[in-house]
Structure 1
Amino acid sequence: MDSDDAVRVRRVYDPPEEDDGTRVLVDRLRPRGITEEHAAVDVWAKDAAPSAELRSWYHQDRSGKRYDDFVDRYRTELRDPAHEQAVAELLGLLRQGGPVTLVTAVRDVAASHVPVLVEHLEHGLGHG
């Protein structure tokens, strides 16, 4: 994503950058093999991540054929009360101004929940 975007995305294993602004971990599980200090996470938005059940279902099939169904199911989850609260908190951070960087431990960010969450947030801000 461009540095001009309100919502940025980085892997938690990459070193933090000065222009990251507020760094928000958007995974349900704590990243393996990384200290809290190195992760430099300001907020852990656990409930913005897919449920454990959805994540498990998606990862049962490594072929990638489930991605479209995963996206649909995750979009539905983002509208449930627990997810809505986490999304509202993220939108609040974004509306305060300054960059917000979503950080994740997933290897393939493009085939994860993160693009769906970014789209959902941008729509909530009226950008999508």
Structure 2
Amino acid sequence: MELKLERIYTKPADMNGYRLLVDRLWPRGISKVNAALDDWDKDIAPSTELREWFNHIPERFPEFKARYLAELALNPATPKLINVIANQLKTQNVILLYGAKDTEHNQAIVIYYYLLKQPAIKAALN
């Protein structure tokens, strides 16, 4: 099984796995039916203050990443997310979905690499 990362606007969408939106805000122009989500974890997304400060300015990404990793470490939703993903990976791929236009500087990338370092995720992927 694989942990994947995909922009929700990508066509054709990868429907092969557990589809999880990791944005705090619903992506514009995407209907809930067409999104075909299994879950939407708003609580794992960066805080509103951090998201607004970052404002998708690439030069701020290193600082955003550091601040967001600190938020993830303290977020009570983080262990739940790790458990859900580890359990899903036992039987199917997991696709982390995000809406940002910038595919290199966004919170989903931070979450993706953070998850890959977690022992439960590593075990599920092997």
Give TM-score, length-normalised by structure 2.
Answer: 0.83
Deviations 1:20-79, CA, capped at 9 Å, x for gaps? x110001000111111111111100111211111100101x73x2211100000000111
Match of 1:103 in 2: 97
SS of equivalent to 1:17: coil
Aligned twin of 1:16: 13
On the 8 A contact 2:18/2:94 being kept in 1, the answer is yes
CA contact (8 A) 1:22 1:42 kept: yes
Tell me the percent identity.
Answer: 32
Gaps of 5+ in 2: none
Q: Which has the higher contact order (CA 8 A, sep 6+)?
A: 2
3-state DSSP of counterpart to 1:27: coil
Aligned pairs for 1:48-127 (under 5 A) are 48-59=44-55, 62=57, 64-124=58-118, 125-126=121-122
- TM-score, with structure 1 as normaliser: 0.82
- Give the count of matched residue pairs: 120
**Structure 1: gaps spanning 5 or more residues:** none
Find out whether 1:34 has 2:49 as its counterpart. no
Contact 1:48/1:86 (<8 A) preserved = no
Q: Pick closer, same or farther for the CA change 1:110–1:98 going to 2, 3 Å.
A: same
Tell me if the contact between 2:54 and 2:60 (Cα under 8 Å) persists in the aligned partners: yes
Q: Cα distance, 1:116 vs. partner? A: 1.1
